[in-house]
């Protein structure tokens, strides 16, 4: 009887040891299962910085001279305003320069792939250019004396800042890639200044009719312009909460007109007297293209640490 009990105990002990060994092996060889983090969530609020380069669109800047007083037309029998074209001409301003600033936006996923959004941005800009046009005028008076006048209108114009409020419509081609179109309201600080100078002379009779001094003059403009902006780009989510965007935009803030103060042609035979008064009127267009890149931080992203299941 004692022998039988001892045999049973031995068998049970062997079975228990084998089971414990199998459990230990199972713990070693059982694979760990990693639950991946969720895909990028494009929806929600984001904020970021941007920088880029701008090119002016309409480079032609016309200037037109106008007479507001002309003593010579009555005294010498010449057409009123005969000398005004002395600054009339067409300058070319190749506006371009750096811009950079910040943006704030909100995205809403209309469907898993379609995104609707709203974005506003404000950039400081040094988009500017300069150019000059040259004009010429000539007329013979009732005494047969030829009067000639030539002048230059030098113009400088550009944008000192640019902002926008735009809608965005995008498509999520891949979990981390968004392609979008955008458009809306644009506004910016436009400026321009014009400086004119010239000469009036009589090539046939320089002794009896000495050259008339022409006073230089200037005009300035600075104001907030309002218009529209449109374009498109793509955005890539390169890390949790962080994305990089590249976009191209076209803006149009309309045109502005500025005039110089009256520029006088002085009568040398009567010191201090004015023979002619002309002004120059210049029209500047504020439009162009932008190429920008930016970095955004997304508050809507959820990135819990990977969950490791253990057995």
pLDDT-based confidence at residue 301 (cuts at 50, 70, 90): low
pLDDT at 25 over 60: no
Residue 24 has pLDDT above 60, yes or no: no
185 vs 112, higher pLDDT:
185
Confirm if 46 and 300 have CB atoms less than 8 A apart: yes
Q: Which helix (H) or strand (E) holds 288?
A: strand 274-298
Contact of 242 with 298, CB cutoff 8 Å: yes
**pLDDT tens figures, 128-179:** 999 999 999 999 988 888 999 999 999 999 999 999 999 999 999 999 999 9
pLDDT of res. 205? 74
Q: CA of 283: how far to CAs of 12, 15, 252, 271, in Å?
A: 105, 101, 15, 34
**What is the model's pTM?**
0.81
Give per-residue pLDDT as tens, 247-292.
999 999 999 999 999 999 988 777 678 989 999 999 999 999 999 9
The larger pLDDT score, comparing residue 81 to residue 304, is at 81
Task: Taking residues 68-84, report their average pLDDT.
Answer: 90
Q: In angstroms, how far is CA 20 from the centroid of its own chain?
A: 73
Q: In which band, very low, low, confident or very high, does the pLDDT at 46 lie, cut at 50, 70 and 90? A: very high
pLDDT of amino acid 207: 64
Classify residue 214 by its DSSP letter: B
Token pair, residue 241, equals 């909460």
Query: What is the maximum span of the chain, computed from C-alpha positions, in angstroms?
Result: 158
Per-residue pLDDT, 76: 86
pLDDT in tens, 102-127: 999 999 999 989 999 999 999 999 99
**Predicted pLDDT of residue 81:** 92
Q: What is the pLDDT of residue 144?
A: 87
At residue 10, the pLDDT reads 43
pLDDT value of residue 210: 74
Q: Is the dihedral of CA 153, 159, 164, 168 positive or negative?
A: positive
- pLDDT tens profile 199-238: 998 888 766 667 889 999 999 999 999 999 999 999 999 9
Average pLDDT over residues 66-79: 89
Predicted confidence at residue 145, as pLDDT, reads 87
Q: Which residue has the higher pLDDT, 194 or 309?
A: 194
Q: What are phi and psi of 277, to 5 degrees?
A: -125, 125
């Amino acid at each position: 009887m004692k022998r039988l009990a001892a045999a049973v105990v031995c068998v049970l002990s062997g079975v228990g040891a084998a089971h414990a060994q199998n459990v230990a092996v199972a713990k070693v060889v059982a694979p760990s299962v990693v639950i991946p983090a969720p895909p990028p969530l494009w929806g929600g609020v984001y904020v970021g910085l941007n920088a880029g380069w701008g090119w002016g669109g309409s480079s032609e800047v016309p200037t037109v001279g106008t007479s507001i007083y002309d003593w010579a037309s009555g005294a010498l029998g010449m057409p009123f305003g005969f000398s005004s074209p002395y600054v009339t001409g067409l300058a070319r301003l190749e506006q371009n320069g750096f811009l950079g600033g910040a943006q704030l936006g909100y995205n809403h996923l209309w469907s898993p792939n379609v995104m609707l959004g709203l974005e506003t941005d404000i950039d400081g800009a040094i988009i500017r250019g300069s150019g000059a046009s040259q004009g010429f005028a000539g007329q013979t008076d009732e005494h047969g004396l030829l009067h000639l006048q030539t002048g230059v209108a030098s113009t400088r114009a550009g944008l000192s800042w640019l902002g926008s409020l735009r809608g965005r419509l995008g498509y999520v081609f891949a979990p981390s890639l968004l392609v979008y179109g955008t458009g809306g309201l644009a506004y910016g600080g436009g400026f321009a200044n014009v400086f004119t100078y010239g000469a009036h002379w009589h090539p046939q009779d320089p002794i009896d009719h000495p050259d008339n001094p022409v006073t230089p003059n200037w005009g300035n403009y600075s104001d907030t312009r309002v218009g529209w902006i449109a374009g498109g780009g793509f955005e890539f989510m390169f890390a949790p909460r962080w994305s990089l965007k590249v976009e191209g935009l076209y803006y149009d803030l309309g045109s502005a007109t500025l005039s110089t103060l009256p520029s006088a042609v002085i009568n040398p035979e009567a010191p201090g007297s004015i023979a002619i008064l002309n002004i120059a009127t210049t029209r500047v267009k504020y439009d162009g293209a932008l190429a920008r890149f930016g970095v955004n931080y997304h508050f809507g992203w959820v990135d819990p640490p990977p969950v490791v299941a253990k057995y």
